[in-house]
Each structure stands twice: as C-alpha cells, then as structure tokens.
Amino acid sequence: MTAETIRIPARFNGPPGSGNGGYSCGLLAGLLGAEVAEVSLRSPPPLERPLAVRREGATVRVLDGEMLVAEAAPAELVLDIPGAVSTKEAEEAARAGYERWAGKHPFPTCVVCGPRREDGDGYRIFPGPLGDGRYAAGWIPEPSLADEGGRVRPECTWAALDCPTSAPVVNFGEGPPAMLARLSADLRGPVAVGRPHAIVSWPVAVDGRKRQAGAALFDERGALLAASRALWIELRR
C-alpha cells in the first residue's frame, strides 16, 4: 500500500521557506471531506517535500518525519459576519492602505499578501481600513488557481481567507510579527476565476499575544462565498 502524502508547492509560501498558513490548512481540510473544518498549525509547513498523512477517526494529521506539522478536524464556524462591501469599495480601501500594509511587511514574499509578488504569481491582497474597525481588499483570482471546472481550488480560497485576518489584529512594523496558529473556514459557494471579489476582515478577540479575527469573501453581487476565523499568536520579542 502506498503511503498517503501531500506536498506544498514552493509557489505557495508564507514566510520564507515555509508554506502559507491558509494554503497549508486548506490542503488538510481537503482531506477531511467536511463542509467546515478547523486546522491547527503545530510547526512551519515545509515546502516541496512529501508530508505523511495520518488518519485517526475524524482527525487528519500531517507529519514531516516525526514532526507534527498540522492537524485538522470537522468543526462549526461560530462567527458574526458583517455585511458585504462592494468590490469598488474594497479596492479603494486596499489602495488607500497599501503603504501601511507594504511598508514594513514582515514577510514581503508571501504568496497572498506579499508586496514583492507580481501579478499572475501572488494574490496581491492588501487589506486597507474601512474606518469602522473592518478592513477590506479586492481580489481577482487568476487562472492558475483554477480547478478543472474553472473555479478556484478550495485550498487556494483558504489561502485568501488567511492573511486578511491579520490586518485588524496585528500591528505590522510596530511590534513583533505574528504567526497563524489556527484557521477555521466554511466554503459556501464556488469562487470564479477572473471575476472581482471583496474580502472583508474584522477583529474578534484579543487576549495577550493571542489575536482572533474573522474574514468573509463576497462576489461582485455581494453574495457570501466563504468565511473564516483565525487565531494568530504574536511572537515573543
């Protein structure tokens, strides 16, 4: 019997040398077959090597040798989701907030939010403030993220639901960086390649170095396509 493995392509990095948290969580969620999943990251996901999959009941774990990388299980997403914003409003917020986001970005080559990634390679999602505690960014998924049916692959949508959650609760350039520790997501509808979308994020809770936030993905008509809740841990100085 061939051992079950997954591999994180080098393109989908977060911090240098490790997988983007949302993309990595999305790969694990895809192994579950659950409508809603919660994934906890236990160590930085390595790139471009096979990671062993271990199934125990409803739980899936991924290991790099003996090192536990992440574990996933079915879950419920408990989240108060605010109303949609238009794609135009999201794009305007991103443009207005770009300098704050990109100026002191701790991981500028992140595939989702890194300002050094070019169009067609990175997502270039740059959340900017809406002025009411929420942040927003526009996103037009490009063709390489599509599945055979022309829709964005689920793990790629998970990635888009990750980085924006840091905006309301992580002070880029004004304190220690933070790392994603847990991500829960509910993918409710297909995400179209080449069409404009709006991503809105907002704070949920702050407890010392633990920061929780939510994100929601809307299409150009304002329909809710996906939502997430993230736990970020601020690194010690």
Q: Are strands 36-41 and 67-74 parallel, antiparallel or unpaired?
A: antiparallel
Angle at 66 between CA 61 and CA 72, to 5 degrees: 10
Q: Which residues does residue 160 pair with via DSSP β-bridges, in sequence order? A: none
Residue 219 has a CB neighbour count (10 Å cut-off) of 18
> Where are the chain's structural domains?
5-74, 87-234
State yes or no: pLDDT of 1 exceeds 50: no
As a CATH number, domain 5-74 is 3.10.129.10
Mean pLDDT of 48-71: 97
pLDDT at 176: 77
Contact (Cβ atoms closer than 8 angstroms) between residue 97 and residue 113: no
Cα separation, 211 vs 32, in Å, equals 26
Fold match, 5-74 / 87-234: yes
Cα separation, 177 vs 197, in Å, equals 27
Digit-coded pLDDT (tens) for 84-120: 999 999 999 999 999 989 888 889 999 999 999 999 9
Query: Within 13 Å of residue 106, how many CA atoms lie on the same side as its CB?
Result: 17
Residue 110 has a CB neighbour count (10 Å cut-off) of 26
Digit-coded pLDDT (tens) for 189-220: 999 999 999 999 999 999 999 999 999 999 99
CA 75 to chain centre: 17
Computed over every residue of the chain, the mean pLDDT equals 95
Give domain 87-234's CATH architecture. Roll (3.10)
Q: Which residues does residue 210 pair with via DSSP β-bridges, in sequence order? A: 207, 233
In this structure, what are the phi and psi dihedrals at residue 29, rounded to the nearest 5 degrees? -60, -35
Count of residues for the chain? 237
Mean pLDDT of 52-77: 96
